[in-house]
Structure 1
């Protein structure tokens, strides 16, 4: 089953989902540079800490730098602003559990991507018997961006874009049509496919799920627990879920995969549609899918742009609320400084920083970037949906857990001798830490999923194999105890057999591909291949590239000895993802992020 809210909160406390001391461990660990909040406090001034959503943090850091070099004061006192980049879901869970100062300064302000997270906090805090007064139930917006259905332009045009109305219902019908794109005159495009992020972790994934349920319910009024339970609402969302290629906790990872496909001359090969924010469409079309100003201009614009569809039944805005916390660790003075920084952010000069980056203003007024782009609409959506209550969002997430596309996953654990090395002086071994991390993330799966377990290294029984099947891929609800027991008893031994093990795993899954499932390998690696009888890395990558099975590889580069280039190549050619856990203390988050793709 999917983790409960309390399990998610506990995971944040125990395994450390992210690092809040300025550097943010991002959910997708490809080549994206970590975001650093490096603005120093003003000398002689009190420091106000803002925990900001990762897509907003670089821009707020830029604005904070100008604030910190200004002469602004409040009642004769000055303040320095420090921005920490924190995923909205991570921050929400941490605030419910009680902020662990060992992982960074407790914030005076929380600036999540959407007010949905304020509602989620209220519900989670009440359920956990925590004070709901810490986070206000509403807060003023500093910028906004609409959820869109982004499509490669030729595919959108085939549906009648930009003139024809297109909504969730049309996409659900196309997803359920056996003829797929053939019903629109393009059989060469195959089935309609969809990519959205996991609503337990992603704002865009949550907004897409809310909007799809609203469309199914047939009303733009705020969702209730009753409408979430509606058969018609669930039927529409289920049609969309079955078209999903993969989930995940980072929408920009999808766009980086789309960018690779475009660069390779196959822009229509990954997915037909993406549930991402309007700003993300602008970032992608500028050649910068991460949206980080530091990477702007480092990649050419795509050959085939994405265009934004604003669903006719309605969509939601991520309103980027600025919530000054009623926190016992804060002070009245810092609260005043926090409010002064808000007043500064909403001034025209600072708003231009945000709108130039693709955000709309707090009132949803478009900036120059939106107005100039032919691929988004300055007018925005015709119907704007409201954020449901926290309890309704909880019901929605539970419903999504039942409707999401099931997965067929093979977990591969590296047990080569280097896994016996200690992670730190007097610390656990790498394998002990990896085992704990994998076990902590297993509840991402539910009874509809099929999961198996292999270990790999040289000279494994029977017959000195390069891998050993410990639990065949089977129903997770039946086999979970076997998988848990098998992981717990893993021991380090012999040499790494990365290449032959990956070859064997993908071959087996390809033979047994389960239609209607996400078929994938989750690969933990700590050491380069050291098996002379099969060291053909290029041949393996070529074989993976030729495969049409759809088996994806989600690689975890674990420790400094991991073969990151090889792992990156496996994930790239199979349209999976690479998660960087070379800092072994981040293994639990890497496993959670990988398993959240299903």
Structure 2
């Protein structure tokens, strides 16, 4: 598949699976796996605790030592004899252009890539400037923006034109889909000339979905290892900050309901392992690769045949039962962890989460994002995250820059895109990547990034991402192996839902369409139901439960029939509906399922015809329930009059996420994003 994609203009490089590093990176020497984590019983002994503290001190001294060594090695790299080819003019006739060539892999610790100096133009070319749009993932957006800013800061002249690089972002899985479809919803001047996802696995996904606009498989511009991140106190309690566990130990520990109480911390509740959806984010993909590799007995030689083996899938399903719930991006988890710390402890929301190193660095310096776009800077958290590098290996996001082809890209724009990719591989481009929290192509980190993120500078235990057939097989299997859902859609059907939002739709008809589309995410084995709420003149909450929570494999037609029969009426008993249906969902709570409510409301609580529960009591009830039978209430503000603050407080009280569809036209996309949490 990738051979068909590679054009004659691009020099071939190592295929993934042949090296444990990105195609432009020296192959890192695999580290010797560390000993397995100590047993739970042993970790509670005072002598073991003292030993761990000693090991932590030694580890931190090693970190400082390696940080110093990094600076020295960079100087060594400046006199290295390793060559580094540059992307040249890819649109002019002549010899085939070359992507940056891999350094000789004889000794990755010494033979480093010598990054060439940037060569900007003496003066910028003529205006109007050629615009190069670069599409990134949510996870690597800041790094791509840093590269664009550094490139734009010097004069550029490509074929007589000045150049301006602009950036946009989307979730990795969504971006792969729109690349495959050829950006049908964008005008030609908005379509990108470069796609820079945070992992080359998304290039595989786009190819599998029929993408024709990819010139080549991409050239890595930076690296971010994908790690298990834990609040420091929890990592110390289990001993993983001193001795990294294997992946199998991670999944086994996450499945131990009594682990924290056995370690003297019953207040932390169950082990809560957070993962992003592998259909949306690279960290979720990496988590699934680790789960499949552990189940198949081979992390670095996983095959599609093993992925499709029913026994392997059964073992992976058992691993997935340890997941608290899935979210779309790492930022979602870390935002909630910070909110949990503000009201008690991050441990109330998560015990561990699988994320990239850059996210750990952001979190530890006080940066979080509710939506993956808007970033909030606060004081650093009291409970810092510790990155854990599993002893049997971990994956790395390789951030490939891929030039696109299409009728919307003229020859000058294509040449300018190649020049931007060339810049990303220069000393200046790599410095921008390091400053943005990434490892450069020599796996070097900025000193302050390493210190704040507590990142292991010398870590060399990376695993190669599996090949395209494995990537697509794992994605195809997710609906079968994921943790099953126990979900109630709870829809506001008060009178305001009759409001027209287009010539053909009211709020209610659009909501029906969005829920119908979202239902396609669920498969046999998922229990899904539908309830709606309004207040009748006699004070009753109507219509109530219209499709009981049941296996959607057999109840889909009844669900859709009930959905189509809903009509708007009366007032809005929001607090009463949330309180009543949360209690019903809690009564059917199961540790083997993601227990949730998807609440869609377009207004504020308004129940004049009968007294109902107040906001404070509703939130107190949700908080009490969350400790015993936690039901996640994902809230969705629908329309400009929605009570955003209350909906945010409802989701926050249950550890779920709030979604914004105050622009009603975006409801289907927002709800589609929301259901990736199941």
Deviation by residue 1:230-251 (Cα, 9 ceiling, x = unmatched): 4664455333311111102122
For the pair shown, the structure with the greater C-alpha radius of gyration is 2
Corresponding residue pairs, total:
548
Q: Tell me whether 1:591 sits opposite 2:667 in the alignment.
A: no
Identify which of 32, 36, 46 aligns with 2:130. 46
Q: How many Å separate the matches in 2 of 1:386 and 1:336? A: 31
Kindly state the Cα deviation for residue 69 of structure 1 after the two structures are TM-superposed: 4.6
Identify which of 614, 619, 630 aligns with 1:550. 630
Q: Tell me whether 1:431 sits opposite 2:488 in the alignment.
A: no
Identify which of 565, 586, 591 aligns with 1:489. 565
The structure-2 alpha-carbon separation of the partners of 1:67 and 1:376, relative to structure 1 and needing over 3 Å to count, comes to closer
Normalising by structure 1, we get a TM-score of 0.86
Q: Contact 1:552/1:576 (CA < 8 Å) preserved in 2?
A: yes
Deviation by residue 1:130-150 (Cα, 9 ceiling, x = unmatched): xx5421452111211111011
Q: Which moved more, 1:239-248 or 1:57-66?
A: 57-66
The structure-2 alpha-carbon separation of the partners of 1:419 and 1:597, relative to structure 1 and needing over 3 Å to count, comes to same
Identify which of 469, 472, 497 aligns with 1:391. 469
Q: Paired residue for 1:246? A: 325
Q: Contact 1:466/1:501 (CA < 8 Å) preserved in 2?
A: no
Q: Paired residue for 1:15? A: none
Q: How many Å separate the matches in 1 of 2:391 and 2:294? A: 9
Equivalent positions of 1:410-421 (< 5 A) are 410-421=488-499
Q: Tell me whether 1:442 sits opposite 2:519 in the alignment.
A: yes
Deviation by residue 1:506-546 (Cα, 9 ceiling, x = unmatched): 11112222331111110000011110322611221122122
Q: Tell me whether 1:327 sits opposite 2:406 in the alignment.
A: yes
The structure-2 alpha-carbon separation of the partners of 1:207 and 1:374, relative to structure 1 and needing over 3 Å to count, comes to closer
Deviation by residue 1:284-325 (Cα, 9 ceiling, x = unmatched): 1111133989746x3121111111111122211111110001
Equivalent positions of 1:335-346 (< 5 A) are 335-346=414-425
Q: Contact 2:313/2:481 (CA < 8 Å) preserved in 1?
A: yes
Q: Contact 2:490/2:533 (CA < 8 Å) preserved in 1?
A: yes
Deviation by residue 1:543-573 (Cα, 9 ceiling, x = unmatched): 2122232011000100001111110000001
Deviation by residue 1:77-98 (Cα, 9 ceiling, x = unmatched): 3222121122221121112223
Q: Paired residue for 2:224? A: 145
Identify which of 380, 388, 408 aligns with 1:301. 380
SS at match of 1:268: helix
Q: How many Å separate the matches in 2 of 1:489 and 1:374? A: 53
Q: Tell me whether 1:539 sits opposite 2:617 in the alignment.
A: yes
Q: Contact 2:142/2:436 (CA < 8 Å) preserved in 1?
A: no
Q: Paired residue for 1:288? A: 367
Q: Contact 1:149/1:275 (CA < 8 Å) preserved in 2?
A: yes
Q: Tell me whether 1:567 sits opposite 2:664 in the alignment.
A: no
Q: Tell me whether 1:117 sits opposite 2:117 in the alignment.
A: no
Q: Paired residue for 2:551? A: 475
Q: Tell me whether 1:87 sits opposite 2:175 in the alignment.
A: no
Normalising by structure 2, we get a TM-score of 0.77
Kindly state the Cα deviation for residue 372 of structure 1 after the two structures are TM-superposed: 1.9
Q: Which moved more, 1:267-276 or 1:351-360?
A: 351-360
Q: Contact 1:143/1:362 (CA < 8 Å) preserved in 2?
A: yes
SS at match of 2:517: helix
Q: How many Å separate the matches in 2 of 1:588 and 1:172? A: 34
Segments of structure 1 that go 5 or more residues without pairing to the other structure are: 1-40, 126-131
Q: How many Å separate the matches in 2 of 1:294 and 1:477? A: 38
Q: How many Å separate the matches in 2 of 1:150 and 1:42? A: 49
Q: How many Å separate the matches in 2 of 1:466 and 1:381? A: 60
Q: Paired residue for 1:29? A: none
Q: Paired residue for 2:344? A: 265
Q: Paired residue for 1:17? A: none
The structure-2 alpha-carbon separation of the partners of 1:167 and 1:230, relative to structure 1 and needing over 3 Å to count, comes to farther
Q: Contact 1:499/1:536 (CA < 8 Å) preserved in 2?
A: yes
Q: Which moved more, 1:326-335 or 1:516-525?
A: 326-335
Q: How many Å separate the matches in 2 of 1:374 and 1:102? A: 37
SS at match of 2:659: strand
Q: Tell me whether 1:318 sits opposite 2:389 in the alignment.
A: no
Kindly state the Cα deviation for residue 381 of structure 1 after the two structures are TM-superposed: 4.7
The structure-2 alpha-carbon separation of the partners of 1:183 and 1:539, relative to structure 1 and needing over 3 Å to count, comes to closer
Q: Tell me whether 1:97 sits opposite 2:178 in the alignment.
A: no
Q: Paired residue for 1:78? A: 162
Q: Tell me whether 1:465 sits opposite 2:545 in the alignment.
A: no
The structure-2 alpha-carbon separation of the partners of 1:197 and 1:327, relative to structure 1 and needing over 3 Å to count, comes to same
Deviation by residue 1:145-179 (Cα, 9 ceiling, x = unmatched): 11101111122123323331312111122233353
Kindly state the Cα deviation for residue 61 of structure 1 after the two structures are TM-superposed: 3.1
Q: Contact 2:146/2:433 (CA < 8 Å) preserved in 1?
A: no
Q: Contact 1:42/1:79 (CA < 8 Å) preserved in 2?
A: no
Kindly state the Cα deviation for residue 215 of structure 1 after the two structures are TM-superposed: 2.7
